[in-house]
A and B are shown apart, each in its own frame.
Chain A
Amino acid sequence: MRKKHKFPPKWLVTSVWIIGFLLLWEFGAFLVENNPKIQNPEYILPHMWQIFASFFDTNLTTATQTPFQVVLEACGATLSRAGIGFLIGLSAGFILALLMNLSHIVEKVAFPYLMLIQVIPILGLAPIILALTGDIGISRMVIAAILTFYPVSANTLAGFKSVSTEQKQLMFNYAAKIPVTYWKLMFPTCIPYFFTGLKTAAPMAITASILVDTLQGDGGLGCALSQSLKHNTTIYVFWEIVIAAAAVGIFSFYLMGMIENMVSPLQRINRKLKRGDKG
């Protein structure tokens, strides 16, 4: 039986957290602003309201776009590229976990490689991958896919392994074929594990996409970021990107949670039970 925490409610925790964060930021901005040694405080730490005001800035910072339009376009580019890499990585990760669970030989052979991928600093190898593929768009997807691959694969495999011996014996006793056993037992059991993998991987895929952006032009948040620091746009583009990048990462995490809520039967049941619904 799970204990129900009535207090403090979730919204209160969230608000306190946000207010605390803003206070800290503003305190820092205040110190920076009032330090006579600092020439351009907005380059170190501007006030939050200055950043937010810049979102509504209608002055063009490039030939055709306001700062917010620049950021918005870059966000779209980053998200879609990270998304493609993420989908490739999660499919490959899931399929490998499935094969590893189906065959001991595959597990024995593939597991060391899986660990190897985990310890290699893929992000640091981005320039090499760019040189190998020769295409910035492809390298972006490759790196996002590799980063997604490990958490999805490892968590999904852990999900399959969490199925109890008795549950498997039960399916064996009913002479259930392998596809039936997977459909009725293995997949439903591993859904929460799979989504833990997705929640870990989604922000990582976005980080990868942003980082690879910075290597070369071709749009995206990272590209806009490096340009904003080269002073050919207003510095607030930089700050907007910082906020946008964080927002996109958080969004990707919550998006996975939302999808899990939709597809996971256990989540549906828990919600039902919380509402006090009798079945």
Chain B
Amino acid sequence: MENIKEPVKNDIEISIENVSMTYQADNGTDVKALTDINLQVKKGEFVALLGPSGCGKSTLLNIIADLLHPTEGNVIVGGTTPKDARLKQRYGIVFQRPVLFDWRTVQKNVELPLEIMKWKKEDRRERSTKMLGLVNLSDFANHYPQQLSGGMQQRVGIARALAINPEILLMDEPFSALDEFTKEKLHEDILRIWRKTHKTVVFVTHNIQEAVYLSDKIVVLSPHPGRVSAIIDVNETLPRPRVPEMKTDVAFNQLVLKVRNSFEEV
């Protein structure tokens, strides 16, 4: 069943047009978190939102996820608003922390969204078992989150996000709290899962190497105010499939340098 073809990328899945986000600070002044963002994400594309803290990358992700509403501009997800996309269950979200429910077993955590969708018990069991297989945690179905390592917990979070089979996977610095070894392992896992499931991935990170290694396209965001300072195509330099050996390639490191130089200082 495994489809090893690279995901097809043609249709526009997420379109962000002239989006600005202004917060009202406590002292009454306006703080511009994002200004005039234009961005398109194709179906099946792996896009990284890369930038230092305060560049508004998580704000942008939250706007796509319908967790925040932009003060200006439009976001169109698969032809509809983010709200409709959310209500149609088109999003899977993975946070920086695993955000698991401690009182549920690993399997029951993965089944949570299916319970909310009122799936039948047997169907839930079948789906969650399949998802745990996908993240290689079949042997831990009956464990509780606190019995698992941080990396394993994050994989449960990924399995839960994929359980409802959403078109879009939104990941907010999902690996930044993990140690280097676990992080590298999860990089391989997420690439394998992406190849298998053909999801559109929006991946927020502040790690340049991570962005270069994983994504098709890097959106470089600079802070104060948050703005797009470059959009860099990775596939031109680093073809798929990516393998760990690429990280020592000259091309890889040149691209890392190029991305770093594209940040604009205030």
> Size of chain B's interface in residues, with CB distance under 8 A?
27
- Whether B87 and A175, one on each chain, are in contact in the complex, defined by CB atoms closer than 8 angstroms, is yes
List, in ascending order, chain B residues with CB within 8 A of A273's CB: 144, 146-147
Interface mask (B83-117 → A, CB under 8 Å = 1, otherwise 0): 00011010101010101011101000000110111
The verdict on A172 contacting chain B, using a C-beta distance below 8 Å, is: yes
Given contacts A175-B87, A175-B89, A266-B103, contact A279 B116 (CB under 8 A): no
B95 surroundings in chain A (CB, below 8 A): 166, 169-170
B199 to chain A, nearest CB (A): 15
- For residue A185, CB closer than 8 A to chain B, the reply is yes
A185 to B91, CA, bound (A): 20
Q: Is A15 an interface residue (CB 8 A)?
A: no
| B142 CB-CB contact with A under 8 Å | yes
Q: Determine the chain A residues whose CB is within 8 A of the CB of B97 once the complex forms.
A: 164, 166
B67 and A188 within 8 A (CB): no
With A184-B115, A279-B142 as contacts: A172 and B99 at CB distance below 8 Å: no
Q: State whether the Cβ of B143 lies closer than 8 Å to any Cβ in chain A.
A: yes
Check B103–A180 contact: CB distance below 8 A: no
B259 within 8 A of A: no
Q: Is B221 an interface residue (CB 8 A)?
A: no
Given A166-B97, A169-B67, A269-B144, residue A175 in contact with residue B103 (CB < 8 A): no
Q: Tell whether A184 pairs with B103 under 8 Å between CB atoms, given A175-B89, A279-B142.
A: no
User: A174 near B102 (CB under 8 angstroms)?
Assistant: no
Contacting pair B144 A172 (CB below 8 A): no
- The residue of chain A having its C-beta at the shortest distance from the C-beta of B118 within the complex is A180
Contact flag A185-B101 (CB < 8 Å), given A173-B93, A174-B89, A174-B116: yes
Given A169-B67, A170-B99, A279-B142, A176:B116 Cβ within 8 A: yes
Q: Is chain A's binding surface mostly helix, strand, loop or mixed?
A: helix
CB of B65 closer than 8 Å to a CB of A: yes
Closest-CB distance, B97 to chain A (whole angstroms): 6
A-B contact count (CB 8 A): 60
In the bound assembly, the distance between CA atoms of A88 and B117 in angstroms comes to: 36
Q: A170-B99, A269-B103 are in contact. Are A279 and B91 (CB under 8 A)?
A: no
- By the criterion CB–CB under 8 Å, are A173 and B86 in contact? yes
A170 to B87, CA, bound (A): 13
Q: How far is the CB of B158 from chain A (nearest CB, A)?
A: 13
CA distance A170 to B98 in the complex (A): 11
Alpha-carbon distance between A171 and B160 when the two chains are bound, in angstroms: 12
Nearest CB in chain B: distance from A192 CB, A: 10
Whether A167 sits at the interface, judged by CB under 8 Å, is yes
With an 8 A cutoff between CB atoms, is A134 at the interface? no
Docked Cα-Cα span, A166 to B160, in Å, equals: 14
- The interface residues of chain A lying within 8 Å CB-to-CB of B142 are 278-279
**Interface presence of A20 (CB below 8 A):** no
A167 and B87 within 8 A (CB): no
| B103–A265 touching, CB < 8 Å | yes
Among A149-191, those with CB < 8 Å from B are: 164, 166-167, 169-176, 180, 184-185, 188
Q: Are B86 and A175 in contact (CB under 8 A)?
A: yes
**Which residues of B are found within 8 Å of A269, using beta-carbon distances?**
102-103, 144, 146
Q: Which residues of B contact A278 (CB under 8 A)?
A: 142-143
Is the Cβ of A180 less than 8 Å from the Cβ of B102?
A: no
Residues of A within 8 A of B86 (CB): 172-173, 175
CA distance A175 to B102 in the complex (A): 21
Q: Which residues of A contact B105 (CB under 8 A)?
A: 279
Q: Which residues of B contact A (CB under 8 A)?
A: 65-67, 86-87, 89, 91, 93, 95, 97, 99, 101-103, 105, 112-113, 115-117, 141-144, 146-147, 164
Instruction: List 9 A-B pairs, Cβ < 8 Å.
Output: A166-B95, A166-B97, A169-B65, A170-B99, A174-B112, A175-B116, A184-B112, A269-B146, A279-B105
What is the interface of chain A, defined by CB distance below 8 A to chain B? 164, 166-167, 169-176, 180, 184-185, 188, 265-266, 269, 273, 278-279
Q: Which are the 6 A-B pairs with shortest beta-carbon distances?
A: A279-B142, A265-B103, A166-B99, A174-B116, A166-B95, A176-B116
